[in-house]
Amino acid sequence: MKLSAARWPAVAVLATLTLASCATGTGAAGDDANYDPDAALSGDLTVLGFGAGDEIATTRMDEAQKALGDDVDVKLVEGDLDIQQLLSSIAAGDPPELIYANRDQIGSLAARGAILSLDKCIDGEGIDTGQYVKAAVDQVTFDGSVYGIPEFNVVQLTMANTSLLDAAGLTIADVNGSNWDAVTAASTALVKNDGGALSTIGVDTKMPEFFPLWAKANGVDLISDDGKTANLNDPKAVEAVEFAVGVYDDQGGFAPVKAFRDSADFFGAGNQYATNQLGSMWMEQWYVNVLNDVSPDATISFDTFRTPQGEPLAFASGSAWAIPAGSANAAAACRFAKAMTATDSWIAAANARVKLREADGKPFTGLLTANQDADDAVRELVTPSGDAQWDSAVEATYLANDNTFSLPANPADAEFKNAWQDAVNRVLNGQASAQGSLDQAQEEAQKALDAAWAKFDKD
Amino acid sequence: MTTTTGRADAAELALAPVQAGDPPALPATQRRTPPRRRLGQVLVYVALTVFAVVFTYPFIWLVSASFKPRSEVFDNLLIPKTFTIENYLNIWQEAPIGVWLVNSVIVTALAAICVTASSALVAWGFAYFRFRGRGLLFALVIGSMMLPGAVTMIPTFLIWNGLGATGTLTPLWAQNLFGSAFYIFLLRQFFLALPRELFEAAKIDGAGNWRIFTRVALPLCKPALAVTLLFEIQAAWTDLLRPLIYLRDSATFTIPRGLKSLLDQFGFGGEWHWEVIVTASVITTVPMIILFFIGQKQFVDGIATTGSKG
Amino acid sequence: MSASSIAPVRPGRLRARRRETLSALLFISPWLVGFLIFTLWPVIYSGYLSLTDYDVINNPNFVGLDNYTAMFEDPKIALSLTNTLIFTILSVPLHIIVALALALLLLRAARATGFFRTVFFLPKMTPAVAVGVLFLLIFNGQDGLINRVLGFFGISGPYWTTDPAWVKPGLVLISLWTIGSSIVILLAALKNVPTELYESARIDGANFWQQTMRITVPMISSTIFFLAIINTIYGFQIFTEAYTAFFGSGNTTYSNDAALFYVIYLFQQGFQYLHMGYASAMAWLLFVVILIFTVVQFAISRRTVYYEGEAR
């Protein structure tokens, strides 16, 4: 019993050593695919992270299939990209051929060699990166190479309740961020607080999610252009947090505002605008369509987000196609991404949507594709709704789209993002002061960045 | 104090349809329930009902919300103002629920049956026999529960990948062929609570180890076995992580995996499309509730009919 | 435990013992096989990974004890471990007491037992993700059910989902909602208690409380022990509900330092930051902590747990 008892761990250790060589991952895999727009392609194309839910997706997928030809079998693994799913497949050396990720995930994947540099793909297939919105391309550029093909752009707009503004003698200019004192004053004027319980939120500064926007408005970039130095506790950033959180504090604190906001019927006819539960907030542009759908009669004023200098500004985010290292069909993946984001594909998709909206008797409010050429073309298709209010929303959307910025890719993007989000949350929850919290975040973020860059430079 | 037969009688009594704690059968003249007893009973029911409301309210809320149109999901009315089955229809039409259902049933049935059988075997091994190394091995059983699954997830994935099973339903249930620490521990506790004299008696009657296991121990632990079965059904049915990392073809998806792909279409993980989330939760949960309800009878029947031990 | 043989043993007994060992191993074999294939290797491998710098994408890079020393300097380790400890210490005893109380009630419900048992098990059947979402709904500071009920009694409820002081109690409460499994297990155990014991006690004049403490609890102590061990082990690994409510879905997280539990931080390190080696080291630290707690509980059990089936 004793001898055999000793034998088993030994066997296990041996097994470990042999099987350990199984977990090689794909980091060492290079890009040896041949990219040629005229070549006939075949094989499987498994796509992780994309779902063909609406006409915008399906129309473009038809175009992509045409470009690929009949011999390529496109398989969508429906559902958002899950990191556990992706990492497991990479560990086993069997990644999908193409992934659809958030642009702010690209940096760390690129730094670790999980995805291929698309330079060869772009050259080979002849993709014109100039056609994409600059901020979008910047987000997926790492160490001088492009690692993702951008798709979709999301920007922020100011959306205010016109009747509430009028009642308080305010205008959109008071709440669009062009004057921070005015915003604070407006919030105090608009908020309604019946003995502790909020019945109307004054101004919602949307912290923590819009912190980069507030910081940039105040003149500071949260991370240096080369993605190496974090800038989270810059005095201007601290100022921005103090201001934005201050707006909540004036209304009784973040907790009551969030609680009240959470119980709102965000997507329904009883939304915060229709029921006068909100004075003004900044929100992503796709919400315009929702409001138009469920409460077309609500009185809402739209504008872009404005800097204290009165200039429009938006923080761009969205998705991107990326090719995992070790992809079995990089050539098809590249062509698929090209076709999905091609100007013509977008126009076809927009036309499909226009038809559907016409059938419903609703206006087409445009589409932000991250492809500037496509954006311009699609804008032509926008049908005036006959209502100045909704038309101004579309105007504001496109204006914002022309004035976007983004945070550059960096090899520790998850840690960086968590660092500043946690920092702002600490301030919101009253656990720390803005300065102290951001100091902590700066330390965490810089440490992570240094470690990640050191590792990248070493390899 | 009590003889072997005394214990056996006790066991029979315990398994008879009389609930523990009920008064013994009184002669007819004394059988009228004293008022104090009745009051106690009423209080029990009141307390249970209060708790029942607390426990079911969120779920009733879920069910009621699933029948509401999107704009009314949060109106906090228990009875929907506008009753609609649109959510269910949408999901049914958008998604191959039938296929997912079949996959879920296969995986769950295999997982539950395998784990119950194998865990019972192993638990018996630990409870009945005395041997060197028993303590150490059992410590390993418990120890295996102490390492967070997150770090063994990838190595386990590599094993299945090496066996060529990724992409199939096998990794979702096959590990249950080898028992599961939780149930092994649970069943071992139940086996240990059985009086040893029962086994001695069976041995004297000439029963071998297997017979003692199947004819004496198992029947007496039917509630525990039923519990194991039910728990694993719940766990396997709602498991999302394994289908997420092992399955790629939507024709192999189980219900939780399928519903996730549906939800994600709405963006942000479907975060704000509560009416879909809520409906998806109900669809996932209801089959199990029905099963559990049906299974209740098995509980009662099982206990009532196993008076004898072989 | 089994006696070691100092005195010379008759050959018959040796063979009998060997046969017993063989039979035992036969019964245990399914677990043994599974353990060797599916548990031992992943565990050893994760131990190896804890000594490496591993991002899953590239080969592991041996770094010795660097991960472990780094853990000492990482303030979030202490934070998350403390959070987890507090949660476990709060929830486990509460869990068992409430489950036992309900199971005892259930025992007296006669025919309605089945119905109520389903009702109590219902929440357990709800997917954990939905529970996390429900937490945000029900514990909403302004409008949630809990605060409305408290308001009924004139109590102004706190902001459960944002106030750091109330986040953990809120999570403990919602974890109580899923005690259905413990209730079911306790019920099964309670039914195994011989009624004659209660009879004799009643004849001797014992009241309900005395019966419970002197008969019921000791007779089901093996099950209570099981629940204590299991809930402690699982309590330390709390993840899904808290993650969904505070860290998970969507682009923005309304994270809260009070809800940063150990496995959540582990998950962030391993899967978001791609520090799988560090995460593995974290897992081993947790293992040691849980092991200590479990050993202590087992030690206590020697004096407090009663097994009808004698030798353990």
* Each residue's pLDDT tens digit, C113-124: 778 877 888 787
Q: How far is CA A151 from CA A60, A288, A402, B280, in A?
A: 12, 20, 16, 29
Portion 236-265 of A in contact with C at CB < 8 A:
254-256, 258-260, 262-263
What is the rounded CA–CA span in Å between residue C272 and residue A105? 9
CATH code of the domain covering residue C73: 1.10.3720.10
Range of the domain at C220: 67-304
User: Is the same domain home to C83 and C155?
Assistant: yes
Name which of C109, C113, C203, C101 is nearest B22 in CA terms: C109
Q: How far is CA B82 from CA B85, B87, C78, C131, in A?
A: 10, 12, 50, 25
User: Is the same domain home to C235 and C295?
Assistant: yes
List chain C residues with CB under 8 Å of B163.
none
- pLDDT per residue as tens digits for the range B133-158: 898 999 999 989 888 888 888 889 98
In this structure, of A100-114, B91-105, C29-43, C117-131, the range with the lowest mean pLDDT score is C117-131
User: Is the same domain home to C45 and C82?
Assistant: no
Q: Is A366:A378 a contact under the CB 8 Å cutoff?
A: yes
Q: Is B240:C127 a contact under the CB 8 Å cutoff?
A: yes
Q: Convert A223-256 to b/e letters by CB count within 10 Å (16 or more is b).
A: beeebebbbbbbebbbbbbbbbbbbbeebbbbbb
- pLDDT band of residue A46 (cuts 50, 70, 90) is very high
User: Is the same domain home to C250 and C118?
Assistant: yes
What is the rounded CA–CA span in Å between residue C126 and residue B224? 22
* pLDDT given for residue A23 in this prediction: 61
User: Is the same domain home to C80 and C180?
Assistant: yes
Q: Which residues of C touch A (CB under 8 A)?
A: 36, 40-41, 44-45, 48, 53, 55-60, 136-137, 140-144, 156, 159, 161-164, 251-257, 268, 271-274
- Residue C62: inside a domain: no
Q: Work out the angle at residue A308's Cα, subtended by the Cα atoms of residues A305 and A309, and round it to the nearest 5 degrees.
A: 100
Residue C127: pLDDT above 60? Answer: yes
User: Is the same domain home to C88 and C224?
Assistant: yes
Q: Is C100:C224 a contact under the CB 8 Å cutoff?
A: yes
Q: By three-state DSSP, how is residue A48 classified?
A: strand
For the four alpha carbons of B302, B305, B310 and C2, in that order, the dihedral sign comes to: positive
- Residues B21-41, mean pLDDT to the nearest whole number: 58
* pLDDT given for residue A13 in this prediction: 54
Most confident of A19-23, B23-27, B124-128: B124-128
User: Is the same domain home to C252 and C161?
Assistant: yes
* pLDDT given for residue A67 in this prediction: 92
CATH architecture for residues A156-315+411-458: 3-Layer(aba) Sandwich (3.40)
CB contact under 8 A, C187 and B223: yes
Closest chain C residue to A413, measured at CA: C273
In this structure, of A335-339, A352-356, B193-197, the range with the lowest mean pLDDT score is B193-197
Residue C154's Cβ-side half-sphere holds a number of Cα atoms within 13 Å equal to 0
- pLDDT per residue as tens digits for the range A241-278: 999 999 999 999 998 998 888 778 787 778 899 999 99
* Tokens, residue A159: 């959306």
**What residues have CB less than 8 Å from B298, skipping those under 6 apart?**
B226
Which one of B72, B245, B265 has the shortest CB-CB distance to A88? Answer: B245
Q: By three-state DSSP, how is residue A277 classified?
A: coil
* pLDDT given for residue B298 in this prediction: 58
Closest chain B residue to C28, measured at CA: B122
- pLDDT band of residue B199 (cuts 50, 70, 90) is confident
The full set of domain ranges for chain A reads: 29-152+318-349, 156-315+411-458
What is the rounded CA–CA span in Å between residue C25 and residue B18? 38
* pLDDT given for residue A2 in this prediction: 44
- What residue spans of B16-133 are helical by DSSP H? 35-66, 86-94, 97-128
Query: Which position has the token pair 């940096």?
Result: A107
Closest chain C residue to A94, measured at CA: C57
User: Is the same domain home to C165 and C33?
Assistant: no
- pLDDT band of residue B301 (cuts 50, 70, 90) is very low
How large a percentage of chain C has pLDDT more than 70? 93
Q: Mutate which of B13, B146, B210 to disrupt the C interface (most C C-beta within 10 Å)?
A: B146
Q: Which residues of B touch A (CB under 8 A)?
A: 69-75, 132-133, 153-155, 157-159, 161-162, 166, 241, 244-245, 248-250, 257, 260-262, 264-267, 269, 272-274
- pLDDT band of residue A28 (cuts 50, 70, 90) is low
Q: Is C105:B48 a contact under the CB 8 Å cutoff?
A: yes
| CATH number for domain B92-305, candidates 3.90.1150.10, 2.60.120.380, 1.10.3720.10, 3.40.50.300 | 1.10.3720.10
Q: Å from A210 to nearest chain C CA?
A: 9
Query: Which position has the token pair 């959510």?
Result: B87
What is the rounded CA–CA span in Å between residue A29 and residue A93? 10
CB contact under 8 A, A78 and B75: no
- Residue C144: inside a domain: yes
Q: Is B151:C281 a contact under the CB 8 Å cutoff?
A: no
A90 touches chain C (CB under 8 A): yes
CB contact under 8 A, A16 and C48: yes
DSSP 8-state symbol, C111: G
CB contact under 8 A, A259 and C143: yes
- Residues A168-189, mean pLDDT to the nearest whole number: 94
* pLDDT given for residue B3 in this prediction: 33
Which one of C145, C196, C267 has the shortest CB-CB distance to B57? Answer: C145
Which one of C56, C255, C273 has the shortest CB-CB distance to A421? Answer: C255
What is the rounded CA–CA span in Å between residue A179 and residue B123? 71
What is the rounded CA–CA span in Å between residue A151 and residue A320? 5
Q: Å from A85 to nearest chain B CA?
A: 4
Closest chain B residue to A53, measured at CA: B265
In single-letter form, the type of residue at position A149 comes to I
For the four alpha carbons of B78, B82, B88 and B90, in that order, the dihedral sign comes to: negative
- pLDDT per residue as tens digits for the range B205-249: 888 888 888 888 888 888 888 888 888 988 898 888 899 899 988
- Residues C210-232, mean pLDDT to the nearest whole number: 87
Q: Is B137:B208 a contact under the CB 8 Å cutoff?
A: no
CB contact under 8 A, B129 and C198: no
Q: Is A139:A316 a contact under the CB 8 Å cutoff?
A: yes
Residue B26: pLDDT above 50? Answer: no
User: Is the same domain home to C45 and C193?
Assistant: no
CB contact under 8 A, A268 and B166: no
List chain C residues with CB under 8 Å of B125.
24-28
In this structure, of A87-96, A429-438, B219-228, the range with the lowest mean pLDDT score is B219-228
CB contact under 8 A, A255 and C159: yes
Before A208, cis peptide (omega within 30)?
A: yes
A15 touches chain B (CB under 8 A): no
Q: Å from A23 to nearest chain B CA?
A: 7
* Tokens, residue A265: 């019927």
- pLDDT band of residue B255 (cuts 50, 70, 90) is confident
List chain A residues with CB under 8 Å of B257.
79
A263 touches chain B (CB under 8 A): yes
- pLDDT per residue as tens digits for the range A342-363: 999 999 999 999 999 888 888 8
CB contact under 8 A, B281 and C310: no
In this structure, of B244-248, C17-21, C127-131, the range with the lowest mean pLDDT score is C127-131
In this structure, of A431-440, B257-266, C151-160, the range with the lowest mean pLDDT score is B257-266
**Total domains in the fold of chain C:** 2
Query: Which position has the token pair 């990166």?
Result: A129
Residue B297: pLDDT above 80? Answer: no
* pLDDT given for residue B8 in this prediction: 33
The alpha carbon of residue A365 and the mean position of all alpha carbons in its chain are separated, in whole angstroms, by: 20
What ipTM was assigned to the predicted interfaces of this complex? 0.88
- pLDDT band of residue A203 (cuts 50, 70, 90) is very high
What is the rounded CA–CA span in Å between residue B290 and residue B272? 29
User: Is the same domain home to C39 and C81?
Assistant: no
- pLDDT per residue as tens digits for the range B258-271: 888 877 776 554 45
Query: Which position has the token pair 């307390």?
Result: B47
* pLDDT given for residue B261 in this prediction: 80
In single-letter form, the type of residue at position B51 comes to F
Class of domain A29-152+318-349: alpha beta
What is the rounded CA–CA span in Å between residue A264 and residue A281? 14
* Tokens, residue B14: 């315990």
How large a percentage of chain B has pLDDT more than 70? 79
Q: Mutate which of C37, C57, C140, C267 to disrupt the A interface (most A C-beta within 10 Å)?
A: C57
Which one of C59, C164, C253 has the shortest CB-CB distance to A25? Answer: C59
- Residue C61: inside a domain: no
Got the DSSP string for C205-265? Answer: T--HHHHIIIIIHHHTHHHHHHHHHHHHHHHHT--HHHIIIII-SSS-----GGG--HHHH
Name which of A63, A44, A30 is nearest A337 in CA terms: A63
Chains that touch A (3 or more CB pairs under 8 A): B, C
* pLDDT given for residue B91 in this prediction: 79
Query: pTM for this structure?
Result: 0.87
- Residues B158-178, mean pLDDT to the nearest whole number: 91
Q: Å from B73 to nearest chain C CA?
A: 12
* pLDDT given for residue C249 in this prediction: 57
- Residues A297-325, mean pLDDT to the nearest whole number: 94
How large a percentage of chain A has pLDDT more than 70? 94
Residue B7: pLDDT above 70? Answer: no
Query: Which helix (H) or strand (E) segment is A312 a member of?
Result: strand A312-315
Q: Work out the angle at residue B107's Cα, subtended by the Cα atoms of residues B104 and B111, and round it to the nearest 5 degrees.
A: 135
In single-letter form, the type of residue at position B40 comes to G
List chain A residues with CB under 8 Å of C271.
83-84, 87
- pLDDT band of residue A35 (cuts 50, 70, 90) is confident
Computed over every residue of chain C, the mean pLDDT equals 85
Q: Å from C181 to nearest chain A CA?
A: 28
* Tokens, residue B36: 């104090």
In this structure, of A197-211, A355-369, A385-399, B34-48, the range with the lowest mean pLDDT score is B34-48
CB contact under 8 A, A8 and C36: yes
User: Is the same domain home to C104 and C236?
Assistant: yes
Residue B1: pLDDT above 60? Answer: no
- pLDDT per residue as tens digits for the range A116-136: 999 999 999 999 999 999 999
Residue A151: pLDDT above 80? Answer: yes
A28 touches chain C (CB under 8 A): yes
Name which of A134, A148, A113 is nearest A225 in CA terms: A134
Q: How far is CA B129 from CA A331, B199, B221, in A?
A: 62, 11, 17
List chain A residues with CB under 8 Å of C62.
none
- pLDDT band of residue A11 (cuts 50, 70, 90) is low
A421 touches chain C (CB under 8 A): yes
DSSP 8-state symbol, B268: G
User: Is the same domain home to C102 and C159?
Assistant: yes
Burial of B157 (C-beta count, 10 Å sphere; 0-12/13-18/19+): buried
What are the CB-based long-range contacts (under 8 Å, 24+) for C202-210? C202/B23
CB contact under 8 A, C58 and A254: no
Which one of C44, C55, C273 has the shortest CB-CB distance to A16? Answer: C44
In this structure, of B161-175, B248-262, C270-284, the range with the lowest mean pLDDT score is B248-262
* Tokens, residue A69: 């030809």
A454 touches chain C (CB under 8 A): no
What is the rounded CA–CA span in Å between residue A459 and residue A113? 10
Q: Å from A79 to nearest chain B CA?
A: 4
Closest chain B residue to A57, measured at CA: B265
Question: In this structure, how many other beta carbons lie within 10 angstroms of the beta carbon of residue A88?
Answer: 24
A29 touches chain C (CB under 8 A): no
DSSP 8-state symbol, B71: G
* pLDDT given for residue B305 in this prediction: 35
Q: Å from B260 to nearest chain C CA?
A: 11
Chains that touch C (3 or more CB pairs under 8 A): A, B
DSSP 8-state symbol, B34: P
Residue B23: pLDDT above 60? Answer: no
Q: Is C71:C51 a contact under the CB 8 Å cutoff?
A: no
What are the CB-based long-range contacts (under 8 Å, 24+) for B245-248? B245/A84, B245/A85, B245/A88, B245/A89, B245/B153, B245/B157, B246/B157, B246/B160, B246/B165, B246/B166, B246/B167, B246/B168, B246/B171, B246/B172, B247/B167, B247/B169, B248/A46, B248/A75, B248/A77, B248/A96, B248/B167
The full set of domain ranges for chain B reads: 34-84, 92-305
CB contact under 8 A, C226 and B146: no
At A101, give phi and psi (nearest 5°).
-120, 170
CB contact under 8 A, C163 and A255: yes
Residue C10: pLDDT above 80? Answer: no
How large a percentage of chain A has pLDDT more than 90? 69
- pLDDT band of residue A16 (cuts 50, 70, 90) is low
Chains that touch B (3 or more CB pairs under 8 A): A, C
